[in-house]
Chain A
């Protein structure tokens, strides 16, 4: 454990200049839920810790039918879980937030931190991926917007350059007749890291119509969260049936090359990908066809799956 100097930024500009001044030996923290654990374990050894938790203007979450969801990087996972528009329009994201660690961590952990840690198992990421989210990044020379599926370059690796800050996540408005869901599989019902996490989204062309869009994102089965493109392609344009959903789940299952680790073997993970892809597709399809479940119904499913 190496001692570090602790700095607090109050504005985005100040955070960026601190990062520039202290170079590669500095680390940005917000909720610090990952930081303190990894620092104690000797995994992260920065000379300077720059806390951005008090940076103004990054803790807002807003929804409008025109711009969709705008989530400041410092919005906590708990705030996402409890946000009425998230529960209503982005059920997969609400479910992902509700299955993230426990309340005591969700009250600290931020969505920006979950994304920038770039863990293959980060719970919010598959859900944000199926909605086609984008990241707003600010640096000394201005800002840029990067699609979330282009943000990750490897485990713990992102396109963020040193001196850049992720400031906002933009989540477009889902099409009419869209359903979505996220299920996490982990040995413990809370405070655990996903063995596998799957988010699915289904849009229908009219309530009884064919599938106009299908998106499936998988966590913890590759170096970064990934989309299951072949499985998605098998559904787009089709009149959906249970057999088609099962076939898509099998494509997703057969398309992944996970690793063996302490949380599960590669074979086990592949099986779980198949099961969770089918279940999330079923629920997304049902919600798209006959309207979403209430949040309490969703919560019941999440708790029954976990405990």
Chain B
């Protein structure tokens, strides 16, 4: 509603990492700004704020998206997973563990986004070939690693996930 030149903030609710959260934000707020500024979830990083770098990647209803491009109110009633919701308590997610153990990160700024892209990729059901991994992570920039160690880490995570699901079947 516009009153004079003042636009009223509107209430929204989003299930973030399994917890129902509410916020009162203006219509132009992005999901990224809402997570960081209103919900104090600063694990998700702001890089370019125009959908080029992938640092702000979160899962929206299970799928990787650039949270800087999502209108917060368009995410009303949605489910969002941020980097804060990836680990199981103190136990790292297999993807996180692989990146830590195989040098898939250096400064760490792009890492939350890359982890979420990787988690989304592993859940997409696409064949985890090196080509498909490169294609799935094409939207995430990293200026430290040169990507070689990132791809290696994802391949390790693929194996770990396969072994875990095989063990669960047996």
Residues of A near any B CB (own CB < 8 A): 1, 3-6, 8, 29, 31-33, 35-37, 39-40, 47, 49, 51, 53, 78, 98, 101-105, 107-108, 189-191, 296, 299-300, 302-304, 306-307
Given A104-B54, A105-B69, A302-B135, decide whether A40 and B60 contact each other with a Cβ distance below 8 A: no
Min C-beta distance of A35 to chain B, whole Å: 8
Contact status A37-B134, CB under 8 Å: no
What 0/1 readout, one digit per residue, does chain B (28-47) give for beta carbons within 8 Å of chain A? 10100000000000000000
- One of B15-23, B70-78, B92-100, B157-165 contacting the partner: B70-78
Contact status A5-B1, CB under 8 Å: yes
Q: Once bound together, how far apart are the Cα atoms of A1 and B49, in whole Å?
A: 15
Min C-beta distance of B115 to chain A, whole Å: 13
Given A107-B63, A302-B135, decide whether A191 and B54 contact each other with a Cβ distance below 8 A: yes
The answer to whether the Cβ of B91 comes within 8 Å of any Cβ in the partner chain is no
Q: Once bound together, how far apart are the Cα atoms of A302 and B135, in whole Å?
A: 9
Enumerate the 4 nearest inter-chain pairs by beta-carbon distance, A residue then B residue, closest first: A102-B139, A190-B138, A6-B27, A303-B131
What 0/1 readout, one digit per residue, does chain B (1-20) give for beta carbons within 8 Å of chain A? 11001010010000000000
Counting chain B CB atoms within 10 Å of each CB, the highest count among A5, A51, A303, A306 belongs to A303
Contact status B49-A104, CB under 8 Å: no
- Contacts A36-B71, A37-B69, A190-B135 aside, 10 further interface pairs with beta carbons under 8 A come to A4-B7, A5-B7, A36-B68, A101-B139, A104-B57, A104-B65, A108-B70, A189-B138, A299-B131, A299-B135
Q: Once bound together, how far apart are the Cα atoms of A40 and B68, in whole Å?
A: 11
Residues of chain B with a CB closer than 8 A to A306's CB: 135, 138
Residues of chain B with a CB closer than 8 A to A302's CB: 135
Residues of chain B with a CB closer than 8 A to A191's CB: 51-54, 138-139
Contact status B74-A51, CB under 8 Å: yes
Q: Please, which residue of chain A has its CB at the minimum distance from the CB of B26? A: A3
The answer to whether the Cβ of B153 comes within 8 Å of any Cβ in the partner chain is no
Residues of chain A with a CB closer than 8 A to B2's CB: 5, 47
Contact status A40-B49, CB under 8 Å: yes
Min C-beta distance of B151 to chain A, whole Å: 10
Residues of chain B with a CB closer than 8 A to A190's CB: 135, 138-139
Contact of B28 (CB < 8 Å), options: A3, A33, A102: A3
Contact status B49-A105, CB under 8 Å: no
Contact status B71-A37, CB under 8 Å: no
Q: Once bound together, how far apart are the Cα atoms of A193 and B159, in whole Å?
A: 34
Q: Once bound together, how far apart are the Cα atoms of A105 and B63, in whole Å?
A: 10
Residues of chain A with a CB closer than 8 A to B30's CB: 36
Given A3-B27, A107-B63, decide whether A101 and B51 contact each other with a Cβ distance below 8 A: yes
Contact of A296 (CB < 8 Å), options: B66, B121, B127: B127
Within 8 A of A (CB), among B117-132: 117, 120-121, 127, 129, 131-132
The answer to whether the Cβ of B84 comes within 8 Å of any Cβ in the partner chain is no
Contact status A51-B117, CB under 8 Å: no
30 intermolecular pairs with C-beta atoms under 8 Å apart? A3-B26, A4-B28, A5-B1, A5-B2, A5-B7, A31-B69, A32-B70, A36-B28, A36-B68, A36-B70, A37-B69, A51-B71, A78-B63, A98-B135, A101-B139, A102-B54, A102-B139, A103-B64, A103-B117, A103-B120, A104-B54, A104-B65, A104-B139, A107-B65, A108-B69, A189-B134, A190-B138, A296-B129, A299-B132, A303-B135
Given A299-B135, A303-B131, decide whether A33 and B51 contact each other with a Cβ distance below 8 A: yes
Q: Please, which residue of chain A has its CB at the minimum distance from the CB of B131? A: A303
Contact status A103-B136, CB under 8 Å: yes
Q: Please, which residue of chain A has its CB at the minimum distance from the CB of B32? A: A36
Q: Once bound together, how far apart are the Cα atoms of A189 and B135, in whole Å?
A: 9
Contact of A53 (CB < 8 Å), options: B10, B51, B74: B74
Q: Once bound together, how far apart are the Cα atoms of A5 and B1, in whole Å?
A: 6
Min C-beta distance of A261 to chain B, whole Å: 18
Q: Once bound together, how far apart are the Cα atoms of A105 and B138, in whole Å?
A: 11
Q: Once bound together, how far apart are the Cα atoms of A37 and B48, in whole Å?
A: 10
Q: Please, which residue of chain B has its CB at the minimum distance from the CB of A302? A: B135
Q: Once bound together, how far apart are the Cα atoms of A33 and B7, in whole Å?
A: 23
Contact of A104 (CB < 8 Å), options: B27, B28, B51, B74: B51
Counting chain B CB atoms within 10 Å of each CB, the highest count among A51, A98, A104 belongs to A104
